[in-house]
Amino acid sequence: MAQTDYEAALAYLFSATDYEKMQRVRYNADTFSLDRMRRLLDLLGSPQRRLRTVHVAGTKGKGSTAALVHAVAMACGLTAGLYTSPHLVDIRERIRIGGRDIGRHELAALVEAARPHVDRLRAEADAPTFFEIFTALAFGHFARAGVDVAVVEVGLGGRLDATNVLAPDTVVITAISLDHTLQLGDALSAIAAEKAGIVKPGVPVVSQPQPPDAMAVIEDVCRAAEAPLVVVGREVTYTWSPAEEAGRLGCEVTVRTPDALYDRLFVPLMGEHQAVNAATAVAAAERCGPLAERLSPRVVREALRQVRWPGRMEHLPGKPEMVLDGAHNRASMKRLLEALARHFPARRTVIVFGSAADKDVDGMLGVLAERLPDSPVVFTRTDNPRAADPADLAERLRACGGTAGEAAGDVASALNVAAERATADGLIVVCGSLYLVGEVKEHLADADG
């Protein structure tokens, strides 16, 4: 059967080097080349120069925060783009305008238009990576559509990330913790310096609460760039509690900024970390010109109520119920378990866990062994070449002090075992990797279909 234009476009994209599927990647200005990215964009007509943007970096929460800012922009009546990574099920999820993922024909046309320029760089031994190409396509899509604002999530780090060619209206730095240590360093100060690499002279910065070492770096960078800094938990405060509205579980959040009070906002995302993300999004919207002039508590209330961000403490009703969360380092695992204790107290919990081998696996398993010592853990793997072996994960749980781990060869088997262990009144929690969450969602969709 002949390939469709869309299938051919995907095959071409996936022929590029994809660091998302590699365990070890050299992190330097050659591997992650902003000069190469700028050259590719120049060949494509420099679409990034026609964009007003909110640029979001951080270890955890950057995707959720980007989605919340995007929701506020839409509620303001703006045509808003959203660029995030990775995707859960369909690569088109990464590029969105309004409530719609990029269409297959649109993506295929963008690839076809970019192909001669990519081939030219390849012939000159300066081949763009998959992420560089896809980022350039996103910028082109947004510019062609004439979006009023685009919310752009950093892929890796910040300083050398392909998205760091933007001249943003607002910069956001979400929670910083240890992750991608092979590339970014194993000290919070080093990681913070990479994330703060997206700060631009004079551009407002909103930061989430940070460990002292990380905050000191962010403050130094902002001071040197004369970039006004607002910190959630300091200039912007919030209160929160678990809540439910129209059958959706989430948080009720009140945000106070230097300029306004946003009272009793319902956010259909669970956990205090999502309350922090909501406060961050509000503060960022206040500092982004296209949004700020249209902002009001009513607009924010309607925006946050409508937000959708799958795979982040996503609740699936049923018997047993299920929660899907992309927690993939020690800090995010702690936040996940804290949120489960608030939203699902005293529930029998079974964990389905899979992870990339290059993540802080022992850190995550140590948290599980400490906080859920009696909960069964079913280990599985995705088809990503970076995935850790389930049997090895079970051994490592035992080394961390856990006793209830077992291996399942694939996602379907893991879910079947978990359902047996949880029983109808229990709770299955899928975590450890967004790739795992995506495969679970795809499996559940196929089962329902």
Reported as a single tens digit per residue, the pLDDT across 241-250 is 999 999 899 9
Q: How far apart are CA 339 and CA 271, in angstroms?
A: 5
Q: Highest mean pLDDT range out of 9-18, 277-286, 308-317?
A: 277-286
Query: For residue 22, which amino acid is it?
Result: M
Which fold, 314-448? Protein-Tyrosine Phosphatase; Chain A (3.90.190)
Q: For the chain, what is the mean pLDDT?
A: 92
Asked whether the predicted pLDDT for residue 21 surpasses 80, the reply is: no
CA dist 179 and 190 (Å) reads 11
pTM of the model: 0.92
Q: What is the pLDDT of residues 23-34, one digit of tens each?
A: 555 556 666 789
Q: Sorting pLDDT into bands at 50, 70 and 90, what band is 374?
A: confident
Mean pLDDT of 413-434: 93
Confidence band of 358 (pLDDT split at 50, 70, 90)? confident
Please check the confidence at residue 230 and state whether its pLDDT lies above 80. yes
For residue 135, the model assigns a pLDDT of: 98
Outline which parts of the chain fall under CATH 3.90.190.20: 314-448
pLDDT beyond 90 at 2: no
- Residue 1 scores a pLDDT above 50: no
CA dist 238 and 234 (Å) reads: 10
Q: What pLDDT score was predicted for residue 327?
A: 87
Between 4 and 186, where is the model more confident?
Answer: 4
Instruction: Specify the amino acid at residue 305.
Output: R
Host H or E run for residue 225: helix 212-225
Position 184 confidence tier, pLDDT thresholds 50, 70, 90: low
Go through 146-167 and write b for each residue having 16 or more CB atoms within 10 A of its CB, e for each that does not. ebbbbbbbbbbbbbbbbbbbbe
- Asked if CATH classification 3.40.1190.10 holds for the domain at 7-306, the reply, yes or no, is yes
What gap in Å lies between CA 208 and CA 237, rounded to an integer? Answer: 11
Q: What is the mean pLDDT of residues 249-260?
A: 96
Task: Identify which of 276, 269, 284, 139 has the alpha carbon closest to the alpha carbon of residue 206.
Answer: 284
Q: Estimate the crossing angle of helix 5-14 against helix 104-123, to 10 degrees.
A: 40
Radius of gyration of the chain (CA): 21
Distance between CA atoms of 418 and 442, rounded to whole angstroms?
Answer: 17
| Burial (0-12, 13-18, 19+ Cβ within 10 Å), 2 | exposed
pLDDT-derived band of residue 134, with 50, 70 and 90 as boundaries? very high
H-state helical runs in 44-103 = 62-75
Cis amide linkage into residue 258, ω under 30° from 0: no
User: SS3 for 37?
Assistant: helix
Instruction: Single out the residue of 236, 261, 274 nearest to residue 61, CA to CA.
Output: 274
Three-point CA angle 443, 153, 235, nearest 5°: 120
Q: Rounded to whole angstroms, how far apart are CA atoms 14 and 129? A: 9
- pLDDT tens readout for residues 80-118: 999 999 999 999 999 999 999 999 999 999 999 999 999
pLDDT over 90 (residue 180)? no
Asked whether 84 and 153 are in contact (CB, 8 A), the reply is yes
Say yes or no to pLDDT of 3 above 80: no
Q: Are 52 and 81 spatial neighbours (Cβ–Cβ below 8 Å)?
A: no
Q: Are the CB atoms for 289 and 257 separated by under 8 Å?
A: no
pLDDT at 141 over 60: yes
Check residue 20 and give its pLDDT: 61
Each as own residue / partner, the long-range contacts of residues 404-409 (CB below 8 Å, 24 or more positions apart, any chain) are 404/374, 404/375, 404/376, 404/377, 405/376, 405/377, 405/378, 405/379, 406/376, 406/377, 406/378, 406/379, 407/378, 407/379, 407/380, 408/378, 408/379, 408/380, 409/380, 409/381
Helix (H) or strand (E) holding 173: strand 170-173
Residues of each domain in the chain carrying CATH 3.40.1190.10: 7-306
Q: Which residues of 176-214 are buried (b: 16+ CB within 10 A; e: fewer)?
A: bbbbbeebbbeebbebbbbbbbbbbeebbbbbbbbeeeb
Q: Angle of helix 411-422 relative to helix 434-448, nearest 10 degrees?
A: 80
Q: What is the pLDDT of residues 293-340, one digit of tens each?
A: 999 999 999 999 999 999 999 999 999 999 999 888 888 899 999 999
% of the chain with per-residue pLDDT over 70: 94
The whole-number pLDDT of residue 225 equals: 98
Cβ contact 436:382 at 8 Å: yes
Q: What's the pLDDT at 28?
A: 61
